[in-house]
Amino acid sequence: MKPDSYWPDSYWIDTAPAFDGGVRGPVPARADAVVIGGGYTGLAAARALALAGARVVVLEAGRAVQAASGRNGGQCNNGLAQDFGSMAGAYGLDRARAFYRDFDAAVTSVETLVRDEGIDCDFRRGGKLKLAVKPAHVAKLETSAELLRREVDADVVFLDAAETRREVASEAFHGALLFRRSASMHVGRFGVGLANAATRRGAQVFEHAFVSRLEHRGGSRFRVTSTRGVVEADRVLIATGASEKGPFGWFRRRIVPIGSFIIATEPLPGDLRQRLLPGARTCTTTRLIGNFFRATPDERLIFGGRARFALPGPRDDVKSGVVLRRAMAGMFPELAQTPIAYCWGGVVDMSADRLPHAGQHGGLFFATGFSGHGTQMSVHLGAAMADVMLGTRSDVVWDQGTWPAIRGHYGKPWFLPAVGAWYRIKDALS
Ligand SMILES: Cc1cc2nc3c(=O)[nH]c(=O)nc-3n(C[C@H](O)[C@H](O)[C@H](O)COP(=O)(O)OP(=O)(O)OC[C@H]3O[C@@H](n4cnc5c(N)ncnc54)[C@H](O)[C@@H]3O)c2cc1C
């Protein structure tokens, strides 16, 4: 199966207006706060800092919201990526509840921001389905639904095979969990709306401002050198996602950059989308190397996954596109001949525990490690870290005190093929 002649970049970026609020000219010599990274984390922090009256400079190596924030699956889900019972076992019930509730709060943060800033991005609380790809996964989902409903989320419902088929017209699924609080949005239009909101509130966004050097001046003060000039600030936030370049070695030992890939079909003909996904909910599957998909308001199917354990690049995107198209046709045979309009990849900032991490290290503030679940959390945590930087909040639930480095990891994820093989074995045996 070959991909068609498709646009080799993100559907969201291609169908969103361009952000043109970037500052021309050199960066100012002084700022109250410098935010490094112009994705959702950095821009949400910059907006909150500016709203509080701080002079904020955002330094973005490329264009704003064109890394993970402009290239994701568009799922703004509540719930944890991990099984709630396992999280309660590892961290204790109270902490697992706090993690879960912060994802609820994160979806609300996005909803509130969209409303307050009047961002036109089709934000919709349509709910998420977690789909069982094997009969053996159904009992686990049923147990999980009971636990979640009892402990933390009364809006979770277990669906049996027949009910699941009414939600997703596919023979591939044997049951599902419905998380009613989850949402979806056009993440490209959201990102540009967020960047515009940050600048409207007074943040200065400098694009093509690659940060190459950080000099500690004591406390939380830093001198930051970028390709657009040098700025000294009282506080600096690292919001660089899975950054592979720049003076962030400490973070690079804790974050593994992992490729994730997506295809988008042409708009589906007639009532096909309505028949396949009548509720237009966001969908994920129960595999470790699973898939995620959703419909768009213009009736496309966006279908993604960790198709190959590779980093994005033209060749890897194409190869991943072929794998994804095969997987999509396996779930929806009617789509086997549907033309693919877009195919792209992005880099996920994976932490070892697959949880976000935030706090302060060596005077620097940071929020990173969203592990593929950051569309909502990066916005929420960016704003929360702004409050920490302003001193109006003492900590966040994702500040776990210590954050150990990943043994043997110095930035290049040499171990990814082995991890991929291990996950495939676990998926085969589960
Ligand atoms: C393919 C894919 C699918 C995903 N799907 C979903 C999903 O459906 N739901 C969900 O919740 N999450 C999803 N995610 C994750 C989500 O997109 C991210 O968690 C979120 O966008 C992170 O935002 P961020 O601002 O922290 O990072 P980014 O958007 O990556 O922004 C970081 C920015 O820092 C800049 N930067 C890096 N180094 C430097 C430097 N030295 N100097 C200056 N700037 C620098 C980069 O250029 C970049 O713009 C997905 C991610 C990918 C890649």
CATH code, 100: 3.50.50.60
Q: How far apart are CA 260 and CA 245, in angstroms?
A: 19
CA of 317 to the centre of ligand 1 (A): 17
pLDDT tens digit string along 50-75? Answer: 999 999 999 999 999 999 999 999 99
- Closest approach atom of ligand 1 to CA 66: 49
- Closest approach atom of ligand 1 to CA 259: 53
Mutate to test the pocket of ligand 1, among 348, 355, 377, 398 (most ligand atoms within 8 A of CB): 348
CA of 348 to the centre of ligand 1 (A): 7
CA of 397 to the centre of ligand 1 (A): 20
Q: Which residue range forms the structural domain that includes residue 53?
A: 11-124+137-258+279-284+349-424
Mutate to test the pocket of ligand 1, among 27, 63, 72, 130 (most ligand atoms within 8 A of CB): 72
Domain count, the chain: 1
CA of 213 to the centre of ligand 1 (A): 21
**Is 399 a domain residue?**
yes
**Is 89 a domain residue?**
yes
Report which protein residue has its CA nearest ligand 1's atom 25: 39
**Is 271 a domain residue?**
no
CA of 71 to the centre of ligand 1 (A): 8
CA of 425 to the centre of ligand 1 (A): 29
**Is 321 a domain residue?**
no
**What is the reported pLDDT for 1?**
39
CA of 237 to the centre of ligand 1 (A): 15
- Closest approach atom of ligand 1 to CA 59: 43
**Is 273 a domain residue?**
no
Report which protein residue has its CA nearest ligand 1's atom 33: 37
Q: How far apart are CA 385 and CA 398, in angstroms?
A: 10
Report which protein residue has its CA nearest ligand 1's atom 50: 72
Report which protein residue has its CA nearest ligand 1's atom 51: 72
CA of 256 to the centre of ligand 1 (A): 13
Taking only the tens of pLDDT, the chain with its 430 residues reads 344 567 778 999 999 999 999 999 999 999 999 999 999 999 999 999 999 999 999 999 999 999 999 999 999 999 998 999 999 999 999 999 999 999 999 999 999 999 999 999 999 999 999 999 999 999 999 999 999 999 999 999 999 999 999 999 999 999 999 999 999 999 999 999 999 999 999 999 999 999 999 999 999 999 999 999 999 999 999 999 999 899 999 999 999 999 999 999 999 999 999 999 999 999 999 987 889 999 999 999 999 997 666 777 777 778 889 999 999 999 999 999 999 999 999 999 999 999 999 999 999 999 999 999 999 999 999 999 999 999 999 989 999 889 999 998 887 888 888 888 888 888 888 8
**What is the reported pLDDT for 172?**
96
**What is the reported pLDDT for 420?**
80
Q: Where does ligand 1 bind, in terms of residues with CB under 6 Å?
A: 36-42, 59-62, 67-69, 71-75, 210-211, 239-241, 243, 245-246, 260, 262, 292, 304, 346-348, 370, 372-376, 378
Report which protein residue has its CA nearest ligand 1's atom 8: 73
Mutate to test the pocket of ligand 1, among 12, 27, 69, 284 (most ligand atoms within 8 A of CB): 69
Report which protein residue has its CA nearest ligand 1's atom 3: 72
**Is 26 a domain residue?**
yes
CA of 396 to the centre of ligand 1 (A): 20
**Is 223 a domain residue?**
yes
- Closest approach atom of ligand 1 to CA 245: 41
**What is the reported pLDDT for 5?**
64
CA of 376 to the centre of ligand 1 (A): 12
pLDDT tens digit string along 234-286? Answer: 999 999 999 989 999 999 999 999 999 999 999 999 999 999 999 999 999 99
Report which protein residue has its CA nearest ligand 1's atom 14: 372
**Is 266 a domain residue?**
no
